[in-house]
Amino acid sequence: MKTTVKQLATGTFLIVLLLMGNTKAEASERKVFSKTYTETALQLENWMTEETFWNTNSTARIEFAPEIEVGLQLEDWMLDDSNWKVSSPEDEPRLTIEHWMINKKFWR
């Protein structure tokens, strides 16, 4: 069953590829209408900017509550030096150029 489905899918895919590959498209333009259409400039009307027009019952049900920000407070752990390990330049290893950085086979 599984093999049959795979073969059917593969066959369908190949047929679609063959049909697409054999399609010959030529540029041909035909004028259906002899009339050319030009669009007029867009105009802003009063109802488009009126709030009462856009306020519907579905949005009126939602109540918007202003967010109240709580003042920030310093806690003891924020001021404790043992929580903040500051490394000095002597503690860090020196930067070195490694082999992979200059090997040309890695940068192709």
**Cα–Cα nearest to 45, from 34, 56, 57, 53:** 53
State pTM to two decimals: 0.22
**Could you tell me which residues come within 8 angstroms of residue 77 by beta carbon, excluding any fewer than 6 positions away?**
83
Tell me the two tokens of residue 11. Answer: 């066959």
Query: What pLDDT, in 10s, does the model give residues 34-60?
Result: 667 677 788 888 888 887 777 766 555
Distance CA 2, CA 8 (A): 10
Tell me the two tokens of residue 72. Answer: 């920030």
Distance CA 83, CA 20 (A): 66
Is residue 31 over pLDDT 70?
A: no
Query: What pLDDT, in 10s, does the model give residues 5-27?
Result: 888 889 898 888 777 766 666 65
Higher pLDDT, 35 or 32: 35
User: What would the mean pLDDT of 67-92 be, rounded to a whole number?
Assistant: 81
Query: 3-state DSSP helix/strand/coil percent for the chain, to nearest 5?
Result: 45, 0, 55
